[in-house]
Amino acid sequence: MEREIVIRMEELTKLYGQQKAVDSLSLSVAEGEVFGFLGPNGAGKTTTMLMLLGLTEPTSGTVRVCGFDPARDPLKVKKIIGYLPENVGFYEDMDARQNLRYIARLNDIPDRVSAARIDKLLEEVDLAKEAGKKVGSYSKGMRQRLGIAEVLIKEPRVVFLDEPTIGLDPDGTNRMLELIRSLSRERRMTIFFSSHLLDQVQQISDRIGIMIKGKLVAAGPLAELAQRGLGLEEGESYTLEEIYMKYFKEA
Amino acid sequence: MHGILTIYRKEMEDHFSSMRFLLIAALVVMIGVIIASMVGMSMQEELWGVAKPTFVFLMLFTSTGKLFSFIQFIGLLGPMIGIILGFDAINRERSGRTLSKLVSQPIYRDAIINAKFLAGVTMIAIVMVSLVLIISGLGIRLIGVVPGAEEIWRLVIYLVISILYISFWLGAAILFSVVFRSTATSALASLAVWIGLSFFVGLGGGFLADAISPIKQTADMAEATSAFVKNAEIQRAASLFSPMTLYGDATSTILDPLRKTPRSFVLMGPLERFSLSRFQNPLPLGQSVVIVAPFLISLIAITLVCFGICYAVFMRQEIRST
Ligand SMILES: Nc1ncnc2c1ncn2[C@@H]1O[C@H](COP(=O)(O)OP(=O)(O)OP(=O)(O)O)[C@@H](O)[C@H]1O
Ligand SMILES: [Mg+2]
């Protein structure tokens, strides 16, 4: 069965002055897929995401999210996507529940619908006990989990996560990865996430893209990258790190 | 539509619990009431056993007591309310990293600015209306007159002008909060513009006028007069750039229907000045409105210009959460 393409980028380019932050990027992601976007600092991962969200305009090229152009139809895109920025902020003097309710209201979800969803989400991200505390007192990990809850409150079709595991302890990281995985498996959400932590990307991604200095140097399932990048046959062992380092040295 | 309402509600809650706003509002209400009650008490003495002049109630707002009148005070300190309500409207969200979350929700970006502006205007209206109501209550007690229908109308128009005037400053402050990333910078920029337009335009106008057309003591009467008139005209033109002066002129025209000109620059004896600068009979309400209409229109126009710049800068701006 052919799956629907939800994210499509063609020859996408973003210039900052003379610098090419993203250089003719072509890529598509199918529905329900977990796409891991890998790259060193300054590779252009965040910039790509901003263009997908319509938060910055591409210099050239096309972007489509569920068939809509984020620059021309921003509201249609924003209705169906959830975005976790790389350094998510909250209204510090409100508690978790109030922050979530505000986001729900901005999405035109009535309070009586959101109340039940909020309770369920707080359980899911393990914040139910701290839900009444002001967010100002939250630790980094709690903030990150609250950020995920805010993304999910509107039940999006496509989720963009910019370095979702940054600042989490090993246990928190594993639970975050499990949650991301289940979003795709159980709720058929499409996940586009960025990271520079190789083993995490390896663990949960259906497909992986490696971006270096604005260029997408490789994209595909892990096994395929290994075959093409390292010239390995099926059955031989490899790690994503070897593949990544190879591309990194080439670039 | 839901976006603008939701943000409006949150902003209102924020304002009501904002120490900064409560302090400035308390300060303005306190000083305003003190000024008006001082005026009221001295009027109580002066009017003892004398027939009350027309529009005596409005004098509560226009008479200069020991320092300045109520309307002068609002002209001076009112902009602070607008600035405090608006100077960090957008860049607070930027530095708190909530802005990129906000703009990725299904709402139009201009809804964010509009909602914040409307919430600010509501707060301004609440402060001004309650201030005028408190002073009216005091006035009824102190001088024992109930305002007539026309006096009430004039007060309502005064309120509209004041709310517009302070909202202009709110709009300007919001503009700075869009343009500058740091809240300290936008606060300073708003203050600088406030001080510049309120005080230095008048001074600068005076200097300019004296430089271009100095007032000379010559024997030739016609020459001296024309220099004098030209000097005054330049000062007047310069004052058009000062919202505070414009506001003062407009409100005194509305609240003091007996005066011919908002300012008298001719030097003469007090009695003579009084008779020359005041009408025998009050200017009808319609006429007063016609006089202040251009002021109202220009205030609305510059507020709209502020908004235009806000939209132009903010609508297509890249929003990163770093
Ligand atoms: N507003 C801007 N003006 C100029 N250059 C910018 C701007 N924003 C980003 N850049 C440049 O674009 C490039 C890509 O940045 P981007 O934030 O997309 O990287 P990233 O892959 O997300 O990196 P990280 O892993 O550190 O988050 C960087 O070299 C950066 O310096
Ligand atoms: Mg980044």
Q: What is the 3-state secondary structure (H, E, C) of B175-244?
A: HHHHHCCCHHHHHHHHHHHHHHHHHHHHHHHHHHHHHHCCCCCCCCHHHHHHHHHHHHHHHHHHHCCCHH
Reported as a single tens digit per residue, the pLDDT across B266-297 is: 444 455 545 555 666 777 888 888 888 888 88
Q: Tell me which long-range contacts B262-271 makes (C-beta under 8 A, separation of at least 24).
A: B265/B232
Give the residue-averaged pLDDT of B195-217.
80
The pLDDT assigned to B64 comes to: 79
Give the residue-averaged pLDDT of B22-37.
92
Separation of alpha carbons A76 and A69, rounded Å: 9
* Average pLDDT score, chain B: 86
The pLDDT assigned to B274 comes to: 54
The pLDDT assigned to B155 comes to: 94
In chain A, residues with a C-beta closer than 8 Å to the C-beta of B7 are 106
* Average pLDDT score, chain A: 92
3-state secondary structure A121-154: HHHHCCCHHHCCCEHHHCCHHHHHHHHHHHHHCC
Minimal C-alpha gap between A205 and chain B (Å)? 24
Q: Cβ contacts of residue B168 below 8 Å, gap of 6+? A: B82, B243, B299, B302, B303, B306
Between residues 28 and 57 of chain B, which touch chain A (CB distance below 8 Å)? none
Domains in chain A, number: 1
**Structural domain containing residue A72:** 5-250
| pLDDT of residue B23 exceeding 70 | yes
Residue with the bigger pLDDT between B250 and B103: it is: B103
- For B90, the token pair is 């957008």
Reported as a single tens digit per residue, the pLDDT across A201-233 is: 888 999 999 999 999 999 999 888 888 877 766
Interior CA angle at B77 toward B257 and B27, to 5°? 115
Among protein residues, the one whose CA lies closest to atom 1 of ligand 1: A16
Give the residue-averaged pLDDT of B74-91.
95
Separation of alpha carbons B167 and B180, rounded Å: 20
Question: Are B100 and A55 a contacting pair at CB < 8 A?
Answer: yes
Interior CA angle at A188 toward A184 and A192, to 5°? 50
Reported as a single tens digit per residue, the pLDDT across B57-77 is: 888 888 876 778 899 899 989
The pLDDT assigned to B266 comes to: 43
Reported as a single tens digit per residue, the pLDDT across A119-170 is: 999 999 999 999 999 999 999 999 999 999 999 999 999 999 999 998 888 9
A121: domain CATH number is 3.40.50.300
B101 touches chain A (CB under 8 A): yes
Burial grade of A1 (CB within 10 A; 0-12, 13-18, 19 or more): exposed
Reported as a single tens digit per residue, the pLDDT across B120-136 is: 999 999 999 999 999 99
**Binning pLDDT at 50, 70 and 90, where does residue A183 land?**
very high
Q: Helical H runs in chain B? A: 2-16, 19-46, 56-62, 70-86, 91-95, 99-103, 109-143, 149-179, 183-195, 201-212, 221-239, 243-255, 270-277, 285-314
Residue with the bigger pLDDT between B309 and B197: it is: B309
**pTM confidence score:** 0.91
| pLDDT of residue A35 exceeding 80 | yes
Reported as a single tens digit per residue, the pLDDT across A1-23 is: 568 999 999 999 999 999 999 99
The pLDDT assigned to B128 comes to: 96
**Binning pLDDT at 50, 70 and 90, where does residue B214 land?**
confident
Minimal C-alpha gap between B95 and chain A (Å)? 9
Q: Is the C-beta atom of A42 inside 6 A of ligand 1?
A: yes
- For B8, the token pair is 């409006």
Among protein residues, the one whose CA lies closest to atom 22 of ligand 1: A46
Reported as a single tens digit per residue, the pLDDT across B44-60 is: 888 777 777 778 888 88
Separation of alpha carbons B174 and A120, rounded Å: 38
